[in-house]
Amino acid sequence: MLEGMKKMEDKVLVEVKDLKKYFKTSKGMLHAVDGISFKIKKGKTLGVVGESGCGKSTLGRLLLHLHEATDGQIIYDNEDITKYNTKQMHEIRKKMQMIFQDPSASLDPRKSVRDLIGEPIKMYKAYKNKADYEQQVAQIMKIVGLSERYVDSYSHELDGGRRQRIGIGRALAMNPEFIVCDEPVSALDVSIQAQVLNLLMDLQEEKGLTYIFITHDLSVVKHISHEIAVMYLGQCVEYATTQELFRNPMHPYTQGLLDAVPVPSLGGKKLSTQIMRGELTSPIEPKPGCRFAARCPKARECCKGKDIPIKEVSPGHFVACTLFD
Amino acid sequence: MQEKEKRRIKLKKISNSRVARVLLARKSVVACLIILAVMLIASVFAPFVAPYDPYKQDLVNMLKPMSFEHIFGTDSMGRDVLSRIIYGGRVSFTVGVVSVLLAGSVGMMLGLIAGMAGGIVDAVIMRIMDAMMSIPMIIMSLFLGSIFGKGLGNICLAIGISMIPSYARVTRGQVLTVREMDYVTAGTLCGASKIKNTISHILPNCVSSNIVLMTMNLGSAILNEAALSFLGMGINPPTASWGGMVNDGYKFMSSNPVIAIAPGIFIMVVVLCFNMVGDALRDALDPKLRGTLGKGKKKKIIKQAI
């Protein structure tokens, strides 16, 4: 029995193999996501970290077919969904949902809370009669911690935290297994961030949800993720469990990210940190070689010229850097 | 417990009549609605309301100034101006409302299709609209009027068609913005098909600017009918219409200005009222703007709080 449960926990729910997404621009191909692979086990959270424009949102949208992948595979529950058509996606979206970054932009301003939360229930015709519909909406509102008196309110009348709760409620309405959280707390202020994060973690515990948690905020990702993938310009540069990554960051970019997190200390100045300089190099038709080389304090000659594959440096810790060859 | 139940029922009732309540919060809107209702009823029941027969010529009493017998005087044929205004309301109201509704609905639909379909469909629809727009409205309706012939229905059709392009353009522009919004993507994720998404999310968010355009076009539709009638494409001469009366009357502007000014004022009042109501309707339909309507009430509440 126990062994069976353990097996369940180890089951891989989402697997991505060498996923690529290029956008056509007037200057050439923009490599938004360039060869990313990972696995997410059922009931776990994968955090995806990276600075703005590194392709992390595109990655999340690719998983849900909001963009068509250029190359690679998305495997959900042992089924390759990369080439699914609209109708097949319609079915699978019951199980795969998304929470958006900005709740005020992702909620239709002309719909009341009832209509917003009830939309998936209506679209999938998952109710028997009007009373059943009302009850389901009330149930979801209760789960996400929204008071029943807001049922006739409009999203702009509520504060950011409640709005995001509506967004979460919509994602939960069809009882999904997997949720893409695209910076769900970035638009919220800190006190509400904690509420929403706790809600997400409680839901994960209760329903065994699997998350991919996209964010630029390392403190948030540390709090919620089991594993973390660090992205830089469409590529995954480091991939490890949360503990391992924070204890032993290997890639210079990850180190730079961690250094940039302000640490409150009573001992006065502690400015040994190197702050990364420069900007992202252009993602349009990037040259082969490490994409971080231009900003990397440890860049060497061998970093340029050819792509650096991601390697397992220690068990479960993957890094794409020539320092560990 | 019972009290709680009661409160809930009360809350629900309010939400259902929210739009109406907000709409009626402005006193000016209520006044406009009453004026429009009175005019509409008067023109529908014109035979009972009008003091004289609007078509009976009385050449002895022509071009009479304002008096108790003829409130707005008589025109060049000796017909009572007030009676003609009351009868003329039938034509003017019909032309205004029908042509605007026709233009609005068809134009919005075309704009929606163009914006959503994109590509060749978009190009074809919008180029046709551009071509229609490049022809002045009055010439367009003249041209259409000469195809469809005379008569009230054809006038509405001609004026309506000539106004379609502006709605199509406005709607298309809105659709292009709205379709990129996150809530449309969210709708897709909630299982809405493209058509359902268009109807439930994109269309409602494109309506407001069209409502404003409709109220603005209403006046020009009424005046357009006058111009068409003046050019001999509109309503046949004995039939009264406000626009036609302005046209007939302006020849006597120096000697007897009331004949032209009286129907002119009616056109102005109707257009103004429709504008006010349309404006309020747009605000009432938009949950974000609803708050701005009940301003008087808010002030009161703030005063009480202080």
Interface test with A, best of B182, B197, B203, B206 (most A CBs within 10 A): B182
Query: For residue range A25-36, what is the model confidence (pLDDT) as tens digits?
Result: 888 888 888 888
Which CA distances in Å does B181 have to B185, B197, B287?
7, 12, 17
Domain range summary for chain A, segments of one domain joined by +: 2-95+176-262+274-324, 106-175
Q: Which residue has the higher pLDDT, B13 or B265?
A: B265
**For residue A75, is it left (φ>0), alpha (ψ between -120 and 50) or beta?**
beta
Q: Do A105 and B188 touch (CB under 8 A)?
A: no
Q: What was the pLDDT predicted at B126?
A: 93
How far is residue A43's CA from residue A17's CA, in Å, rounded to a whole number?
20
| Residue B233 dihedral angles phi and psi, to the nearest 5° | -105, -10
- Give the mean pLDDT per block of 10 residues along chain A (325 residues): 54 87 86 87 89 85 87 87 85 87 85 88 85 89 88 84 89 88 85 88 89 88 89 88 88 84 67 64 79 80 80 86 79
How far is residue A232's CA from residue A52's CA, in Å, rounded to a whole number?
10
- CA A147 to chain B, closest CA, distance in angstroms equals 13
Structural domain contains residue B17: no
- CA A29 to chain B, closest CA, distance in angstroms equals 22
Nearby residues of B3 by Cβ (< 8 Å), 6 or more positions away: none
Chain A hits for B285, CB-CB cut-off 8 Å, are: 110
* Statement: residue B306 has pLDDT above 50: no
- CA A119 to chain B, closest CA, distance in angstroms equals 7
- CA A84 to chain B, closest CA, distance in angstroms equals 15
Instruction: Give the CA angle between residues B245, B248, B249 to the nearest 5°.
Output: 80
CATH number for the domain whose boundaries are A2-95+176-262+274-324: 3.40.50.300
Q: What was the pLDDT predicted at A1?
A: 45
Q: Identify the closest residue of chain A to B204 by CA–CA distance.
A: A110
* Least-confidence region, from A49-58, A272-281, B151-160, B230-239: A272-281
Indicate the pLDDT class of residue B291, thresholds 50, 70 and 90. low
| Cβ proximity of B156 and B222 under 8 Å | no
Q: What was the pLDDT predicted at B7?
A: 53
Question: Within 10 Å of residue B304's Cβ, how many Cβ atoms?
Answer: 7
Structural domain contains residue B28: no
How far is residue B73's CA from residue B78's CA, in Å, rounded to a whole number?
9
Query: For residue range B3-21, what is the model confidence (pLDDT) as tens digits?
Result: 555 555 454 444 446 677 7
Q: Given CB atoms, is A66 within the 8 Å cutoff of chain B?
A: yes
| Cβ proximity of B39 and B89 under 8 Å | yes
Q: Given CB atoms, is A174 within the 8 Å cutoff of chain B?
A: yes
How far is residue A237's CA from residue A252's CA, in Å, rounded to a whole number?
9
Q: What was the pLDDT predicted at B194?
A: 84
Structural domain contains residue B296: no
Q: What percent of chain B has pLDDT over 90?
A: 15
Which CA distances in Å does A138 have to A143, A202, B48?
9, 19, 56
Q: Do B183 and A107 touch (CB under 8 A)?
A: yes
Nearby residues of B156 by Cβ (< 8 Å), 6 or more positions away: B94, B95, B98, B99, B102
β-strand partners of A39: A15
Q: Report the relative pairing of strands A227-232 and A45-49 from DSSP bridges.
A: parallel
Q: Do A156 and B204 touch (CB under 8 A)?
A: no
Q: What was the pLDDT predicted at A67?
A: 86
Q: What was the pLDDT predicted at A50?
A: 85
Chain A hits for B12, CB-CB cut-off 8 Å, are: 152
Chain centroid to CA A297: how far? 28
Q: Do B12 and A109 touch (CB under 8 A)?
A: no
Domain CATH for B227: 1.10.3720.10
Which CA distances in Å does A194 have to A107, A161, A207?
21, 10, 20
ipTM: 0.79
Indicate the pLDDT class of residue B101, thresholds 50, 70 and 90. very high
**For residue A49, is it left (φ>0), alpha (ψ between -120 and 50) or beta?**
beta
What b/e sequence results for B168-194 when a residue is b if at least 16 CB atoms lie within 10 Å of its CB, and e otherwise? bbbbbebbbebbebbbbbbbbbbbbee
Indicate the pLDDT class of residue B233, thresholds 50, 70 and 90. confident
* Statement: residue B124 has pLDDT above 90: yes
Instruction: Give the CA angle between residues B278, B283, B288 to the nearest 5°.
Output: 165
* Residue B199 DSSP class: I
Indicate the pLDDT class of residue B146, thresholds 50, 70 and 90. confident
* Statement: residue B79 has pLDDT above 90: no
Q: In three state form, how does the secondary structure of B88-127 look? A: HHHHHHHHHHHHHHHHHHHHHHHHHHHHHHCHHHHHHHHH
Instruction: Give the CA angle between residues A65, A70, A75 to the nearest 5°.
Output: 55
| Residue A36 dihedral angles phi and psi, to the nearest 5° | -105, 135
Q: How many domains does chain B have?
A: 1
How far is residue A79's CA from residue A88's CA, in Å, rounded to a whole number?
12
Structural domain contains residue B52: no
How far is residue B107's CA from residue B166's CA, in Å, rounded to a whole number?
7
Residue showing tokens 């149930």: A139
Q: Is A96 helix (H, G, I), strand (E, B) or coil?
A: strand
Q: Do B288 and A106 touch (CB under 8 A)?
A: no
| Residue B216 dihedral angles phi and psi, to the nearest 5° | -70, -40
Q: Please give the structure tokens belonging to residue B9.
A: 């029922």
Chain A hits for B190, CB-CB cut-off 8 Å, are: 119-120, 123, 170, 173
Q: Which residue has the higher pLDDT, B150 or B265?
A: B265
* Residue B80 DSSP class: B
Nearby residues of B152 by Cβ (< 8 Å), 6 or more positions away: B91, B94, B95, B235
* Residue B201 DSSP class: I
Strand order in the sheet with A71-76: A28-41, A12-25, A71-76, A79-80
Residue B24: closest CA among B280, B229, B259: B280
Q: Which residue has the higher pLDDT, B303 or B111?
A: B111
Q: Do B205 and A154 touch (CB under 8 A)?
A: no
Q: Given CB atoms, is A65 within the 8 Å cutoff of chain B?
A: no
Q: Do A107 and B287 touch (CB under 8 A)?
A: no
Interface test with A, best of B190, B197, B201 (most A CBs within 10 A): B190
Q: Which of A97, A109, A149 sits opposite B189 (nearest CB)?
A: A97
| Cβ proximity of B56 and B248 under 8 Å | no
How far is residue B303's CA from residue A70's CA, in Å, rounded to a whole number?
62
Helix, strand, coil % over all residues of chain B, rounded to 5: 75, 0, 25
* Statement: residue B302 has pLDDT above 50: no
Query: For residue range B17-48, what is the model confidence (pLDDT) as tens digits?
Result: 667 777 777 788 889 999 989 988 988 888 88
Domain extent for B167: 68-264
Chain B hits for A152, CB-CB cut-off 8 Å, are: 11-12, 15
Chain centroid to CA A40: how far? 11
Q: What was the pLDDT predicted at B171?
A: 93
